[in-house]
Structure 1
């Protein structure tokens, strides 16, 4: 399919989903896209078909949700392969040895070293890692905003980790890609807000387990970007919050000192004689106590 035909299919699919058309109709449309679309990042972005199909992953119909997930996964794999192939070609071109002036071949890299070795070894302490310190290239899309978000994810994931820069970058790209598919395009505030939120949770020094689980694949990117603020917190944070909640509850249950009610005191605002008061010695010991009064009728407070 060309871009124009895909755009037509995208509109039809959107209308079908909104109209809650029969499952067979939705399945048929998705299968046409599955077999007819040769995915590329520019094609998916220009037609927005990736975003539309990705939304169907949450369909109430299991068959539609499963097929949509398969299609999105396949397209993402194809786009990533294209990026890797392009990056490898660029690396080979930039690292090709130049002939020396005497006609011999001058080696630009040590023997046995490949361009990817630089992203397979740590060059800084784990607690000092960033994408800049690790010297990785986060320019993997044509969008500055997306590339910046990939850098954010890298900085959050690499902190304190001994995983190779290559593996951290791969995971950062996967997380950003999942967020873009679900919340994009990159001009939307929802996408940017989610990226900032995930970064803040990842870089939290008290939430090491979150970084580790994402890096090791215990938390998949598609699930990670949908986690609530409570799910993102560490066990220690939840325990601390629970202690505060219990303390506030206990304080609220402490018996309060009873206030006396007087019918001899009169409110200067409404004239009623339904007044509560407490006494306190605010002056010298040989002087009378101060009354702190509150009208039960209008709420006016005063002291005398």
Structure 2
């Protein structure tokens, strides 16, 4: 160990080492990033400028859009720059910084989705008490907690990662500084870091997922009791968008990080990682807007396409 040089830079190998595939991936991810950024920004602006959308549900949605915007901006721009310049280098401080914000925004996103599920539970199962329970103070608390816990968890991971040594091997078989890939790359004892991933990451994902399941179980039961088919569809449509987002987000994360056979670097895991880091945040504004007439109307006013969107 004393004769080995400490790594100052890492090499992000990306999704492919073929130049033609890299050009295709650059165009693909550039288009997806621009679409996702525009969609999330428009969602935030539409909610901010339309007073009819100043309700708890849309307050949570605007925060989710902001988190998704931050989440994709943590990894995608660096990948695009590397593809454009033909470089794979990322410095050690940049790598830790990227890992910090990736973990922080990812954990915050997960916790916020469970808060949104609780909001839908109150709206569907206890509509008469919704206004008195879901106060502005509770809304602010349910939005602040994901940010606080996300950054605290990320800080612990980053500090523990900074204690590890990285020697001759500096190639990260990923398109960003993933915590699992860095642990495997370390030439020092990383058992503490592996335990922290399970102790901190596991509860965030599984407790949030359980909270969502617990919230949606009575929702499904309440919707099932609605006598008319039209009434059932109307009641469940308020939650269908959120359920779609949850399925896409948690399904891919659990498949990558909590699958015993996962290597975090094979083709299937890479595709799953792209799904929750790029595809899901890109689709979220469209999933919510296409199933929500109020949001479509607000977007129409914002863009001057009110009559077009009504058709």
Band of TM-score, shorter chain: under 0.3
Question: Larger radius of gyration, structure 1 or 2?
Answer: 1
More helix by share: 2
Q: Which fold has the larger relative contact order, with Cα–Cα distance below 8 Å and residues 6 or more apart in sequence?
A: 2
